[in-house]
Structure 1
Amino acid sequence: MKRSDVMTQGPERAPHRSLMKALGWTDKEINMPMIGIVSGYNEIIPGHVQLNRIVDAVKAGVREAGGNPVTFPVIGVCDGIAMGHTGMKYSLASRELIADSIEVMATAHPFDALVLVPNCDKIVPGMLMAALRLNLPTIVVSGGAMLAGHLPGGDKRGMSLSSMFEAVGKHAAGKMNDEELLQWENSVCPSCGSCSGMYTANSMNCLCEAIGAALPGNGTIPCVYSARERLAKESGYKIMELLEKNIRIRDIMTPDAFENALKVDMALGCSTNTMLHLPALAHEAGFKIDIFKANEISAQVPNLCHLAPAGKDHIEDLNLAGGVMAVMKELDKKNLLKRDLMTVTCHPISDSFDKAHNWDNEVIRPIDNPYSATGGIAVLRGNLAPDGAVVKRSAVAPEMLEHTGKAKVYNSEEEAIAAIFSGKIVSGDVVVIRYEGPKGGPGMREMLSPTSAIAGMGLDKEVALITDGRFSGATRGASIGHVSPEAALGGTIALVESGDEIHIDINNGVLELLVSDEVLEERRKNLKPHQPKINSGYLARYAQRVTSANMGAIFKEN
């Protein structure tokens, strides 16, 4: 019996079938397996504006393989367009809405299987969270990455969205005039697709391959390539095979598969936002990931790629070099991966990476010649972050891996940006931005604007930023986010005062406020409860339910 039979079979379902016939469906289509295709299409996200093309290719594959494809939409926020204003408070919060809406749709209309068609940031994990709740045969096929931008007569290495945000800092510092800024604005984002560096969207799309939830190529084939449509058709064929063999998403996304994904995360130098999304996905799969496991894995797994913003390469370069499977093949040379894990190919993951080839030893360093012996992400701990804080170590300049400086404290992103642009931040400072966590924001904004301004002004090798909010995957420098407990929960970050010294030791996982316990206790007595700037609507409800960043900013169970 198919799952969809409960709404299509028997005399008592004649009213249901009559509504389906109003859709133009034939009896044959009504009796076919019903495949829900979850589309992230909208006309505001450059990574999603082309998703109808991917959906159409998936539908063609499903029909050819004997299924009835049924498309339904979900919302999506463009993090780049939402950046630096109130809209960013809704980005992470949208992940839970996406998951809930898919659960509603796929339960009210019991589909037999799901094809997830996302591309950007929170949409990928939001879709997967719902799929893990429902535990149906499921496959992910994303929309693909944007091509790198190029200036006429400029550097042939290419540019990405982070270049544009840093240009704003250069402009503010008088290093770029209005005409140059406009030329960059016209050149940085040359095509649709998810932004061209190893930012959050591409990180999650690559990890979908590594964890076995997507076919090889999902994370790296550029949006505008015809190979992306072929991949979508193949995904349509494959979902019917997954359904026939009853291979469900929880059969694929197991604890061992998550460990493989974390190792690939370290090798690629993925966005720190993976440290929010992987724990949230594991929670939906029925187990827990301790974010400090990232340090254990980082100690084993070298960093093999320096993709933008950490380096000069972009997703299209990773694709030409052999993609995610080539990275996994390098890791397998040191027996770092579990080989026999089931994937949406209906074969073990090793079948895919054994066939891969590393075509470019600079884009994907050989395992014996890595960029660094340790992985791309580090989780720090100390009295300033007893429950952890996260940094993209692979994007930190060597001279900032250990740093002690005086704090300059701001209670919002806007205050910090104003201070940066007015020249109040100087070499050696540690900028602290608080009350931007999941509950305190509410919504845990990304801080790409301040980090990019500092980089654009040439201070990224001299200034650190610390926040209970988070950083975009496009961020580089000593940018430490996810400080837990957050300020709104009375975490130590709420007690920091300008002039306090903060010690950062990324290699040893240390984040310490150099203030005595006695002084901190005295400050705590005078700490006033935080009043969020938004206290109505969805974000008010979100703030009541959301947990700390170290738990993945999931909702409380009760």
Structure 2
Amino acid sequence: MTGKPSGLSHGLTNYGDPDFSLYLRRSFARSMGLSVDLLKRPVVGITNTASGFNNCHRHFPELLEAVKRGVLAAGGLPLDFPTTSLGEGFLSPTSLRFRNLMAMDTEELIRAQPMDSVVLMGGCDKTVPAQLMGALSADRPAVQLIGGPMMTGRYKGERLGACTDCRRFWARYRAGEIDQPEIEAIEGNLATTAGTCAVMGTASTMACLAEALGMILPGTAAIPAVHADRLRAAEATGRLAVALIGSGRTPRRIITAKSVENALRVLLALGGSTNAIIHLTAIAGRAGIEVTLDRLNELSDTTPVLVNLKPVGRHYMEDFHAGGGMGAVLRELRPLLHLDCLTVTGETLGERLDAEGAPWVDREIIASAAAPLEPVGGLVALFGSLAPAGAILKRSAADSSLFEREGRAVVFTSLADLSARIDDPALDVRAEDFLVLQQAGPHSQSGMPEAGYLPIPKKLAAKGVKDMVRISDARMSGTAFGTIVLHVTPDAASGGPLALVRDGDRIRLSVAARRIDLLVEPDEMAKRRAAVTVPPSPRRRGYDRLYADHVTGADQGCDFDFMRDVQG
């Protein structure tokens, strides 16, 4: 064998005889009915994350065929391969626990199999960051293809979309406003097509951030899953994957400190998911880029909220696509962005925006920077004695009347405790109290679920209470809303101050001062800490043990400590 490996000659299986290895590999490939001419082409790998446990990816078989069509038309050989698939609502205890598994799976299969470039087909919440993490670590030419959001449904003349409307109607059901037959009817109309949630939840947020980072084709983040343009985008992505071969445009050239900052700006302008902070931090960490909450606050104070989508606004992802999509958002943010960032197409962000000109924008959906929905960004980081390493509040989806106040803590020591007592008529709770959940962070056995959206106690909901200050080390779905302080770090399972909060303690929240403080004297805190007994750890094996031993805190993206800034 001579020359640089390409196509099937990449990474030959080691039998001690490279020529025999290639001969055997070609023989096996020919058993699949591939012609000799096709086997001479450069190979484009395609991650196929379709699964019976992932409704968001139900349309992936059709998308896959479109990608293959584009690869073949551009002179490549498409070979798809399965990886872990993370269906948000089908994983226990939470999909975040398995994001790193999918990232490792994606990375290792890109490394181990013969491919010149790779198309990353993803969509549902944690699949997009997992694929970007894996692709960054493998650093082979890669382009991502987003599955796209679902279309809205209808119920009694009202548009419905998973999952902000899921939560709205569930809150009404808990308050006794809706009976069992009606909530069941609503259940059948919330998610009616293939695709990810129809609102600016985590999946749609990460799709938009993938475009802001430059890792997908321009203008493709928001195309609905069932739209014909989604298939055309898939075909074009296949063509681009062939063009990437030999270009030198690997993920590490595209995902840089500047493009990550662009993505943070976009996140703030979208009023996007709080989960995206964890995911962007983990993605950046794979390239040795630090994302700090102090910098998030600096960007938030100078980035307006522009997008009128649920849960922050009124509209849905299909409206966002029709109203101008990510191109419109990027043009409004242009003075704040790093325009010299390289994108996967080979053009810079500035060149992309120049080429687009100034197309029509629906200002009901995407506001101008001169007349934004909110003058400052959708997310803010809080620090203080309760969260020394920070916490996150989605202020654009919260009740601003609750931003500056002091309250009495009503503490739930675990998810099981929350479930057992939140609706107990005897629960000592008032609307002005702060609900506090412990032991739901990344180091807990629950694995940091989207449980930060603590339900309003039923007896308060029945009286019309719609929002309360809620504090935890858990996450919150990007589709949720409320005055909710999340990702409290260090988490309770790591011995953070959150673990020492007791019923009746006073907590002070000040969004203006970026503070969340536990108003307990240091001597009392020391006594409580001294009295803490650590229960024996349960016996763990396999991936569960790997996760428990190596996951980092929310401030480092909940990645594994040994995976950060690793390049092969």
TM-score between the two structures when normalised by the length of structure 1: 0.94
Q: Does 1:484 align with 2:486?
A: no
Show CA shifts across 1:80-110 (max 9, x none): 344xxxx133x11211111111222122213
8 A contact 2:551–2:561 mirrored in 1: yes
Instruction: Report the alpha carbon displacement of residue 30 of structure 1 after superposing the two structures with TM.
Output: 2.0
2:501 maps to which residue?
A: 496
Give the 5 Å matches for 1:55-454: 55-82=64-91, 87-89=92-94, 91-154=95-158, 156=159, 158-332=160-334, 335-354=335-354, 355=356, 357-423=359-425, 424=427, 425-447=429-451, 450-451=454-455
Q: Name stretches of at least 5 consecutive residues in structure 2 with no aligned partner.
A: 13-17, 564-568
8 A contact 1:381–1:388 mirrored in 2: yes
Matching residue's letter, 2:479: A
Matching residue's letter, 1:340: D
Which of the residues 469, 473, 484 maps onto 2:474?
469
Show CA shifts across 1:10-34 (max 9, x none): 4552122212222222222222111
CA distance in 1, matches of 2:31, 2:536: 51
Show CA shifts across 1:256-314 (max 9, x none): 11111100110001100111111111111122222331111101111111321122111
CA distance in 1, matches of 2:63, 2:154: 26
Distance 1:426 1:321, change over 3 A: same
Instruction: Report the alpha carbon displacement of residue 550 of structure 1 after superposing the two structures with TM.
Output: 0.7
Instruction: Report the alpha carbon displacement of residue 197 of structure 1 after superposing the two structures with TM.
Output: 0.9
Which of the residues 15, 18, 22 maps onto 2:27?
18
Distance 1:500 1:300, change over 3 A: same
SS at match of 1:128: helix
Show CA shifts across 1:202-226 (max 9, x none): 1101101111000123321111101
Q: In terms of mean alpha carbon deviation, does 528-537 or 226-235 score higher?
A: 528-537
Instruction: Report the alpha carbon displacement of residue 533 of structure 1 after superposing the two structures with TM.
Output: 6.9
Matching residue's letter, 2:217: L
Distance 1:290 1:358, change over 3 A: farther
Distance 1:295 1:530, change over 3 A: farther
8 A contact 1:440–1:532 mirrored in 2: no
Q: In terms of mean alpha carbon deviation, does 16-25 or 412-421 score higher?
A: 412-421
8 A contact 1:266–1:301 mirrored in 2: yes
SS at match of 1:235: helix
Show CA shifts across 1:432-480 (max 9, x none): 1111111113411111663487897687754111111111111211111
CA distance in 2, matches of 1:419, 1:535: 29
8 A contact 1:166–1:456 mirrored in 2: no
CA distance in 1, matches of 2:556, 2:163: 29
Distance 1:284 1:458, change over 3 A: farther
CA distance in 2, matches of 1:451, 1:353: 43
Distance 1:174 1:404, change over 3 A: same
SS at match of 1:482: strand
8 A contact 1:200–1:473 mirrored in 2: yes
8 A contact 1:165–1:449 mirrored in 2: no
CA distance in 2, matches of 1:459, 1:88: 31
Distance 1:159 1:426, change over 3 A: farther
8 A contact 1:428–1:462 mirrored in 2: no
1:518 maps to which residue?
A: 523
CA distance in 2, matches of 1:33, 1:510: 55
CA distance in 2, matches of 1:530, 1:143: 43
Matching residue's letter, 1:315: M
Matching residue's letter, 1:496: V
8 A contact 1:437–1:443 mirrored in 2: yes
Instruction: Report the alpha carbon displacement of residue 412 of structure 1 after superposing the two structures with TM.
Output: 1.8
Instruction: Report the alpha carbon displacement of residue 358 of structure 1 after superposing the two structures with TM.
Output: 5.0
8 A contact 2:453–2:476 mirrored in 1: no
SS at match of 1:340: coil
2:560 maps to which residue?
A: 555
CA distance in 2, matches of 1:235, 1:174: 49
2:566 maps to which residue?
A: none
Instruction: Report the alpha carbon displacement of residue 499 of structure 1 after superposing the two structures with TM.
Output: 0.7
Distance 1:366 1:348, change over 3 A: same
8 A contact 1:452–1:475 mirrored in 2: no
SS at match of 1:70: strand
Q: In terms of mean alpha carbon deviation, does 258-267 or 498-507 score higher?
A: 498-507
8 A contact 1:88–1:446 mirrored in 2: no
2:15 maps to which residue?
A: none
What RMSD, in angstroms, separates the aligned Cα atoms of the two structures? 2.1
2:54 maps to which residue?
A: 45
Distance 1:7 1:523, change over 3 A: closer
SS at match of 1:450: coil
Instruction: Report the alpha carbon displacement of residue 67 of structure 1 after superposing the two structures with TM.
Output: 0.7
Matching residue's letter, 2:102: I
CA distance in 2, matches of 1:453, 1:367: 39
Distance 1:56 1:550, change over 3 A: same
CA distance in 1, matches of 2:188, 2:233: 30
Q: Name stretches of at least 5 consecutive residues in structure 1 with no aligned partner.
A: none
8 A contact 1:100–1:130 mirrored in 2: yes
Show CA shifts across 1:182-241 (max 9, x none): 221121112111011111111101101111000123321111101000001011111111
CA distance in 2, matches of 1:166, 1:456: 12
Tell me the matched-pair count.
549
Distance 1:457 1:323, change over 3 A: farther
Instruction: Report the alpha carbon displacement of residue 118 of structure 1 after superposing the two structures with TM.
Output: 0.5
Q: In terms of mean alpha carbon deviation, does 403-412 or 476-485 score higher?
A: 403-412
CA distance in 2, matches of 1:496, 1:534: 28
1:528 maps to which residue?
A: 533
Matching residue's letter, 1:408: V
